[in-house]
């Protein structure tokens, strides 16, 4: 049966049908819809497949590894930068190996549609020395989940499934297969204690598997050579790069389609030998372009993102690939003259707006203040009309950067962080600040949800005062306010008092996200109708 | 046969509902389809678009090449102009005529309309007023789809109507009827 599915949904359904027992994830564009699909899927609910959101990507990765240890199939999902958060567990999971199938899904965001960088997760696969799957379309995304679980269990390795925004958020018809059984509980009897003496041996084991991984790539149904007649140029088309090549040249090119890694040196060398030059079309960073240079010899002409034949940054498009193939651009209109950018903005009525209004008003009295921001809807406070932030770097960095700047003597040093980001990566930094009695003011702007990604549950809801007190913030310096225009005098007074306090203060402006509030009101109305 | 469509507007205007209806109709008609959407940060009041490709042949790229779009369907006039480089020289713009101003530097309205009118094939209408007059203030997106229907060609007006019935069936007969009425108003308007 065919179903119209987003790339993300295809992966979710592929996982359920492949006998998934648990998905572990923290929301992050463009990966969020995978977990959401599983949370609302009927079969997943009936089977009791674990799908509750995790506090961050590291807790997700470790829980999934635990499920794998117990013998069941687990999926971890995250956006690309989440790989940085879970890297410790991820890299070491390659050393321990797995028991039940383990897939780590990383959704990369070339062009940074909703991100801070465009790091390519295939580097992580290479770094951890594990197989990587990279679907070219929604059907492959569906099919690959079962293949990856199978490979994972057969070779006792985690498998990285790498997608990009354009696949994650694009819909196409997918032929859906039968529902398979879950694994039964069967805890590992292998050695998973990575003491140095054991880890050294396991690392050698992992290196020994590399030839098997290469062989798996050579025989993979997702990798193939397409001959388009005697061509001088060979095209290596990775992941969705394949689509842009086919869009432009159809069957009239020699294409080595790559959707499973590691690359086989044998295959690459043979392809190079049959052609005079190679064009590498890959979405993200030049991973393959760099790798094959070491296989085909320094003098062999390779074209790609490093040579400027394709743009060094940004996602691939049919147009940039056409240009790299030397095809002329078709007729098109110029850019319009009467056009202005329309950046995203905080919703009208959003509590974060009131927080920034108050902050800006209070801080105007101090000549040298800085506000360190964090990741979420409230990062939009950096844009007009508020222009309230000096930094936004990574999850949790607001508190720790404010602390470091305060250590250096900056005053006032203010951090603003959302509720979900605080539990994701802010708590440990707050403990550092408390232990150092740093002179910082932390604003936890609590809208009771993970707003930017569409209103998922937030791990710390109803626990923030207790968390702050538990970490050692003094009770009289944990203050809660309701961010509404009518409360502005009270909010500004409290902000001022806490900025003036020489130590760690936490102010929690708390009001539900207006998007989730509207959704909850609709749900309640529906309930009363019944 | 193939048709490449760009749906666009401002986050929250309901372009994904239009995409869902076209997607349903295309699936029912057995067409190949790819539909690239914008999720995440831009949905907060920023510009949003969806590349929708329909074809009797296999479709590779999720994105439409520049100069390749047959119909730009826009909930907002300036947003329609944003995709000019993607519009085919023979393509059509179907757009709401009413600006949605949520930025301080929105262009001069008269100049913007003049630029729109200078395009070879444009249909524009105050879809919100039409929807309101039809008694369905929230149906502006279905009015717009109705206006665009004759240009989609690879799907008939009747196929799109059926898809509306299917998509909104869950919300009850009254909602289906209201959306069909809005859609029909749009179809009528584009004939004028």
Contact (CB<8Å) A318/B65: yes
Contact (CB<8Å) A332/B89: yes
Range of the domain at A320: 224-324
A161 and A298 fall within a common domain: no
A273 and A409 fall within a common domain: no
Burial of B36 (0-12, 13-18, 19+ CB in 10 A): buried
- Does residue A412 have a cis bond before it (omega within 30 degrees)? yes
Determine contact, residues A92/A68, Cβ cutoff 8 Å: no
Which residues in A478-497 are b (16+ Cβ under 10 Å) and which e?
A: bbebebeeebeeebbebbbb
Chain A interface, best mutation among B16, B27, B62, by max A CB count within 10 A? B62
A261 and A390 fall within a common domain: no
A70 and A190 fall within a common domain: yes
A133 and A181 fall within a common domain: yes
Higher-pLDDT residue of B12, A161? A161
What is the average pLDDT across A428-449? 98
Contact (CB<8Å) A171/B23: yes
Q: Report ipTM for this prediction.
A: 0.94
A213 and A231 fall within a common domain: no
pLDDT in tens, B11-54: 888 898 999 999 999 999 999 999 998 876 667 789 999 999 99
Q: Look at residue A125 and tell me if it is in a domain.
A: yes
A111 and A202 fall within a common domain: yes
Distance CA A185, CA A182 (A): 9
Contact (CB<8Å) A344/B11: yes
Q: Look at residue A524 and tell me if it is in a domain.
A: no
Average pLDDT of chain A is 97
What is the average pLDDT across A27-54? 98
A393 and A468 fall within a common domain: yes
A320 and A357 fall within a common domain: no
Domains identified in chain A, total number: 3
Q: Look at residue A332 and tell me if it is in a domain.
A: no
Q: Look at residue A343 and tell me if it is in a domain.
A: no
Model confidence at A436, pLDDT cuts 50, 70, 90, reads: very high
Last residue of a domain, one of A195, A218, A241: A218
Contact (CB<8Å) A318/B87: no
Determine contact, residues B149/B157, Cβ cutoff 8 Å: yes
In sign, the C-alpha dihedral spanning A213, A214, A218, A221 is positive
Closest by alpha carbon to A339, among B102, B107, B49, B122? B107
Closest by alpha carbon to A60, among A424, A325, A402, A328? A424
Give me the pLDDT at residue A297, please. Answer: 92
Give me the pLDDT at residue B132, please. Answer: 94
Last residue of a domain, one of A257, A289, A324: A324
pLDDT in tens, B84-102: 999 999 999 999 999 999 9
What is the average pLDDT across A216-238? 95
Q: What are phi and psi of A527, to 5 degrees?
A: -60, -45
Give B41's contacts in chain A (Cβ within 8 Å): 29, 113-114, 344, 452
Helices (H) and strands (E) counted in chain B, each on its own, are 7, 6
Give me the pLDDT at residue A528, please. Answer: 83
- What's the CATH code of the domain at A276? 3.40.50.920
Give me the pLDDT at residue A123, please. Answer: 98
Distance CA A399, CA A405 (A): 10
A387/chain B closest Cα distance in angstroms? 15
Determine contact, residues A427/A471, Cβ cutoff 8 Å: yes
Q: Look at residue A241 and tell me if it is in a domain.
A: yes
* pLDDT tops 90 at residue A513: yes
* pLDDT tops 80 at residue A342: yes
Give me the pLDDT at residue B191, please. Answer: 84
* pLDDT tops 70 at residue A188: yes
Q: Look at residue A529 and tell me if it is in a domain.
A: no
Chain B interface, best mutation among A338, A341, A451, by max B CB count within 10 A? A338
What is the average pLDDT across A58-68? 98
A387 and A490 fall within a common domain: yes
Q: Look at residue A52 and tell me if it is in a domain.
A: yes
A192 and A265 fall within a common domain: no
Q: Look at residue A345 and tell me if it is in a domain.
A: no
Contact (CB<8Å) A318/B115: no
B41/chain A closest Cα distance in angstroms? 6
Residue A348: closest C-alpha in chain B: B45
What is the average pLDDT across A63-81? 98
* pLDDT tops 90 at residue A529: no
pLDDT in tens, B120-156: 999 999 999 999 998 998 999 999 999 999 999 999 9
Contact (CB<8Å) A332/B67: yes
- What's the CATH code of the domain at A36? 3.40.50.970
Q: Could you say which of B38, B60, B104 has the minimum Cβ distance to residue A246? A: B60
CA distances from B5 to B18, B67, B70 (A): 11, 12, 6
Give me the pLDDT at residue B42, please. Answer: 65
What is the average pLDDT across B95-117? 97
Chain B interface, best mutation among A235, A316, A321, A333, by max B CB count within 10 A? A333
| Those residues with Cβ within 8 angstroms of residue A332's Cβ, 6 or more apart along the chain or in another chain | B66, B67, B85, B86, B87, B89
Give me the pLDDT at residue A530, please. Answer: 65
Last residue of a domain, one of A187, A218, A249: A218
Chain A interface, best mutation among B15, B37, B44, B95, by max A CB count within 10 A? B44
Give me the pLDDT at residue A415, please. Answer: 98
* pLDDT tops 80 at residue A384: yes
Contact (CB<8Å) B64/A452: no
Q: What are phi and psi of B83, to 5 degrees?
A: -105, 15
A293 and A413 fall within a common domain: no
Determine contact, residues A169/A30, Cβ cutoff 8 Å: yes
- Return the percentage of chain A with pLDDT > 90, whole number: 97
């Amino acid at each position: 049966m065919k179903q119209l599915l987003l790339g993300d949904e295809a992966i979710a359904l592929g996982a359920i049908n492949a006998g998934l027992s648990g998905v572990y994830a923290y929301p992050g564009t463009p990966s969020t819809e995978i977990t959401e699909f599983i949370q609302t899927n009927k079969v997943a609910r009936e089977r009791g497949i674990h799908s509750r959101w995790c506090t961050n990507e590291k807790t997700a990765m470790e829980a999934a590894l635990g499920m794998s240890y117990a013998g069941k199939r687990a999926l971890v999902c995250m956006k690309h930068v989440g790989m940085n958060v879970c890297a410790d567990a991820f890299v070491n999971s390659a050393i321990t190996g797995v028991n039940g199938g383990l897939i780590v899904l990383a959704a990369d965001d070339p062009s940074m549609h909703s991100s801070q960088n465009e790091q390519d997760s295939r580097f992580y696969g290479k770094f951890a020395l594990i197989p990587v799957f990279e679907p070219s379309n929604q059907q492959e995304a569906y099919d690959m989940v079962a293949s990856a679980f199978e490979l994972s269990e057969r070779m006792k390795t985690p498998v990285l499934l790498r997608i990009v925004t354009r696949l994650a958020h694009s819909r196409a018809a997918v032929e859906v297969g039968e529902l398979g059984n879950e694994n039964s509980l069967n805890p590992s009897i292998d050695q998973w204690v990575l003491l140095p003496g054991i880890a050294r041996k396991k690392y050698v084991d992992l290196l020994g598997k590399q030839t098997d991984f290469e062989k798996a790539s050579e025989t993979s149904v997702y990798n193939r050579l397409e001959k388009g007649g005697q061509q001088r140029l060979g095209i290596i088309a990775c992941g969705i790069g394949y689509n842009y090549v086919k869009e432009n040249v159809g069957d009239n090119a020699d294409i080595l389609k790559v959707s499973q890694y590691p690359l086989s040196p044998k295959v690459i060398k043979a392809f190079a030998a049959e052609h005079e030059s190679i064009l590498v079309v890959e979405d993200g960073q030049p991973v393959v372009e760099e790798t094959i240079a070491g296989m085909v010899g320094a003098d062999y002409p390779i074209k790609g993102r490093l040579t400027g034949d394709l743009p060094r940054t940004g996602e691939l498009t049919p147009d940039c690939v056409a240009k790299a193939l030397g095809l002329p651009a078709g007729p098109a209109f110029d850019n319009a003259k009467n056009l202005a950018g329309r950046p995203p903005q905080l919703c009208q009525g959003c509590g974060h707006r009131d927080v920034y209004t108050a902050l800006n008003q209070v801080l105007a009295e101090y000549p040298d203040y800085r506000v360190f921001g964090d990741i979420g809807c409230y990062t939009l406070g950096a844009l007009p009309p508020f222009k309230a932030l000096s930094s936004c770097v990574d999850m949790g960095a607001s508190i720790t950067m404010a602390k470091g700047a305060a250590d250096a003597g900056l005053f006032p040093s203010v951090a603003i962080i959302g509720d979900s980001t605080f539990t994701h990566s802010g708590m440990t930094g707050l403990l550092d600040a408390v232990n150092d009695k740093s002179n910082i003011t932390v604003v936890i702007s609590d809208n009771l949800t993970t707003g930017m990604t569409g209103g998922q549950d937030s791990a710390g809801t109803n626990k923030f005062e207790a968390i702050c007190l538990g970490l050692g913030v003094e009770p009289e310096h944990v203050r809660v306010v309701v961010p509404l225009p009518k409360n502005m005098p009270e909010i500004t007074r409290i902000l001022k008092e806490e900025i003036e306090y020489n130590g760690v203060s936490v102010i929690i402006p708390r009001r539900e996200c207006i998007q989730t509030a509207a959704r909850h009101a609709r749900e309640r109305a529906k309930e009363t109708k019944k | 046969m193939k048709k490449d469509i760009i749906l666009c507007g401002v986050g929250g205007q309901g372009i994904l509902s239009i995409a869902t209806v076209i997607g349903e109709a295309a699936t029912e008609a057995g067409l190949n389809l790819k539909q690239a959407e914008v999720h995440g940060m831009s949905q907060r009041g920023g510009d949003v678009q969806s590349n929708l490709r329909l074809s009797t042949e296999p479709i590779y790229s999720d994105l439409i090449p520049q100069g390749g779009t047959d119909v730009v369907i826009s909930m907002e006039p300036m947003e329609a102009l944003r995709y000019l480089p993607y519009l085919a020289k023979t393509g059509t713009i179907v757009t709401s005529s009413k600006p949605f101003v949520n930025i301080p530097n929105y262009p001069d309205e008269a100049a913007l309309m003049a630029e729109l009118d200078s395009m070879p094939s444009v249909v524009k209408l105050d879809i919100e007023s039409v929807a309101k007059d039809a008694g369905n203030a929230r149906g502006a997106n279905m009015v717009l789809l109705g206006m665009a229907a004759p240009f989609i060609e690879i799907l008939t007006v009747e196929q799109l109507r059926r898809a509306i019935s299917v998509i909104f069936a869950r919300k009850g007969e009254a909602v289906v009827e209201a959306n069909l009425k809005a859609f029909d108003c749009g179809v009528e308007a584009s004939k004028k």
